[in-house]
Structure 1
Amino acid sequence: MKNRFSSIRFSYIISHLNGFFLTLITILAVLLSIYVWFSPEWLTSNSIFLFIGLYSVIAFVVSVYVGFRSSGDLKQRMDYLSVLITQLANGNYQSKIYFNEGDELNRIGNELNELGEKLQNQVISLQRLADEKAELAKSAHKSAVIEERQRIARDLHDAVSQQLFALTMMSEAAIKQLDLNPNVAKEQMTEVANAAHQAQSEMRALLLHLRPVHLSGDPLPRGVSKLVEELKQKSQIDFHLTIDDSLTLSEATEEHVFRIIQESLSNILRHANATEVKIEVIKRGRELFLHIADNGIGFDLSNDNAKKTSYGLKTMKERCEELGGNFTIRSNIDEGTYIDIRIPC
């Protein structure tokens, strides 16, 4: 209710009512002055108050009506400006607005149009820089391979090797308890199975990073399809992929999107404990939409314990921003994780 009374239309009506009130006071003052000073026969107190009463009713109705009608055009134009600002905030920099009036709102509309053009040019510049960066990345491929091998070696040492060592210790302990206490041995073998499953997930995630940084000549739809088919054969996760086979993007955009999908699937294999993953890559108009969702355990985005996946999420967000896109992630405990990315094309 408060927002309604603070609207432009209500302000217009109030301004007309203020004008009506001032006019009423002025007319009443003039009539009373004439009545007191000159006392003409045609002017009586009854006629004064009758005139003032009729004038008040008619002027009040006219003020409300005129204020409502005269504010309609301004309100409509302000709504157009609000929609344009929302479109620009959402990344739709091609949106334009045009007014025929040569007033201040027309000037604001033209300035917003110029702002949209500048933002669009900045997106184009970002994508051009991404293309240049991709060329530089190719020239530094050898050093990247060495760095990737070192990182994989560290991950193998920190994660898989420790888990395999734990498997060995738990297996030896279970063998010793097999004859003495079968129930304890059974519990220990259950722990061995869970640890083996975790080590297997870690290994699959590491194998994802062993894939080449580039698509090796394959278009994005084919590269993503091959990646998903490979994971279907090596894991128990049910993958649902939706991607247009005729999708064509710049080389840098394809590589960034492919690596984003790789990184997200790696996080899912390592941490999500998911049984179903949904991937959608759709191009609508001049924008590419990427949606990745899983039904895993999820995590609290505000919790410090989520730092184990923060590096991967940070990498995905940086790749998205390099292309001038928007990165959004939603997740809650036991409610899965949802990643939505929008990239201008």
Structure 2
Amino acid sequence: MLRKLSSTRYMYIRSHLYAVFLTTILLLSMLLSIHVLFAPDWLSAGGIVAFTLFYVLFGIVISFYAGFKSGGSMKERLDDMSVLITKFANGHYDARVYFQERDEITRISNEMNELGEKLESQVASLKRMADEKADYAKSAHKAAAMEERQRLARDLHDAVSQQLFALTMMSEAAVRQIDQQPEEARTQIREVANTALKTQTEMRALLLHLRPVHLSGEPLSSGIRKLIGELEQKTQLTFTVHMADDLKLSETIEEHLFRITQEALSNILRHAEASHVKLDMVTRPNELFLHIRDDGRGFDAQERTDRKTSYGLKTMKERTEELGGTFTVRSVRGEGTYIDIRIPC
């Protein structure tokens, strides 16, 4: 009930009643002043009371009629604007409202119509940008997949294909010499075995790159331990791992760290000729620290003449910088390689 009395119509009625009240007070004051000062015969106390009562009665009736009449039109226009706002809120930006009057409400309605046009234009722009973004994402995914395929094909051609060709040549030479020069044939067979081992290592490293990029919902620690477990079964490498199982990291950080670790282990497998690898992943105040160390042959970190090794280090550095971290590599020939990664968190 109170809410209804505060509506637009009753606001107009209250304003009219207030005008009647003020006018009544003013007339009553004037009539009483004339009666006291001049005491005319035509103006008596009873006449003043009767006139005031009739004036108040008719004023109340006219106030209600005028309030409902004028307030009704105002209420309809405000209701139309309320419906327009509701349509905007529900995404119907093509809705419009028009009034014939030339007042403030008409001006506000015109401004809201312009707002609807702008919102409709912005929604169309956002849809167009979303479509363009989806197209760009597809193009980037295809380009990345093509680049990875080309790199793997190049690595297969540069390493595995050449080693298989060398195996073929050495095997044929050993077969020809096995009767006449058995010692040289034996030497050739040993070289065949060593080359086959290197080829197998190279293939395992390439297969390591072909693992799924995503952790498939696994925690980072589980994914890395599973990766290391497979390498321990298939290679001669031994691992020492210190890593907490309750690391609370975002999905993006976990995916990047998994790929960085995968790339580092692939480089060790292909180039380091190491026997032992140490991996530490710990959380420190405001940062995550990842340390990977091997006891392999090492390389000159300043020269980085090995193109494949440089590519792997560049990839790890780029992924680290995408997370806002720092990437440091130290290597000495004959003493192994150290990789330190710090990620703010």
TM-score bin, normalised by smaller chain: 0.5 to 0.7
Mapped partners of 1:151, 1:299: distance in 2 = 22
Taking a change above 3 Å as real, the CA distance of residues 217 and 137 of structure 1, as seen in their structure-2 partners, is farther
- For 2:212 and 2:140, the matched residues in 1 are separated by 13
Q: 1:298 to 1:181 in 2, by over 3 A?
A: same
Q: Which has the higher contact order (CA 8 A, sep 6+)?
A: 1
Residue 219 in 1 paired to residue 219 in 2? yes
Query: How many angstroms apart in 1 are the aligned matches of 2:236 and 2:285?
Result: 36
Looking at structure 1, the residues matched to 257 and 138 of structure 2 have their Cα atoms a distance apart, in angstroms, of 17
Deviation, structure 1 residue 140: 5.4
**Counterparts of 2:341 and 2:330, CA distance in 1:** 12
Structure 1 counterpart of 2:207? 207
The residue type equivalent to 1:303 in the other structure is E
Aligned to 2:186: 186
- Give the Cα–Cα distance (whole angstroms) in 2 for the partners of residues 295 and 227 of structure 1: 19
Quote the residue 2:260 is aligned against: 260
Work out whether 1:196 is the aligned partner of 2:196: yes
User: Following TM superposition, by how much is the alpha carbon of 1:143 offset from its aligned partner in structure 2, in angstroms?
Assistant: 5.3
Runs of 5+ unmatched residues, structure 1: 1-132
Alpha-carbon RMSD: 2.1
Match of 1:291 in 2: 291
Quick check: which has more Rg, 1 or 2? 2
- Aligned counterparts of 1:291 and 1:255: Cα–Cα separation in 2: 17
Contact kept? 2:304, 2:310, Cα under 8 Å: no
Instruction: State the partner residue of 2:311.
Output: 311
Distance 1:264 1:221, change over 3 A: same
**Percent identity at matched positions?**
67
Residue 182 of structure 1 aligns with an amino acid whose one-letter code is P
CA distance 1:279–1:138, change in 2 (3 Å)? farther
- Equivalence for 1:161: 161
Contact 1:267–1:312, Cα closer than 8 Å, also in 2: yes
| Alpha-carbon distance in structure 2 between the residues aligned to 1:251 and 1:209 | 20
* Partner deviation per Cα, 1:43-96 (whole Å, 9 max, x = no partner): xxxxxxxxxxxxxxxxxxxxxxxxxxxxxxxxxxxxxxxxxxxxxxxxxxxxxx
CA distance in 2, matches of 1:188, 1:152: 29
* In structure 2, distance between residues paired with 1:273 and 1:211: 22
* Cα gap change, 1:171 to 1:206, in 2 (>3 Å): same
Q: Any unmatched runs of 5+ in structure 2?
A: 1-132
2:243 corresponds to which residue?
243
Distance across 1 between alignment mates of 2:179 and 2:317: 54
Q: 1:304 to 1:162 in 2, by over 3 A?
A: same
User: CA separation in 1, counterparts of 2:191 and 2:217?
Assistant: 44
In the superposition, relative to structure 1, how do residues 195 and 259 fare at CA in structure 2: closer, same or farther (>3 Å)? same
CA 1:199–1:241: 2 relative to 1, 3 Å = same
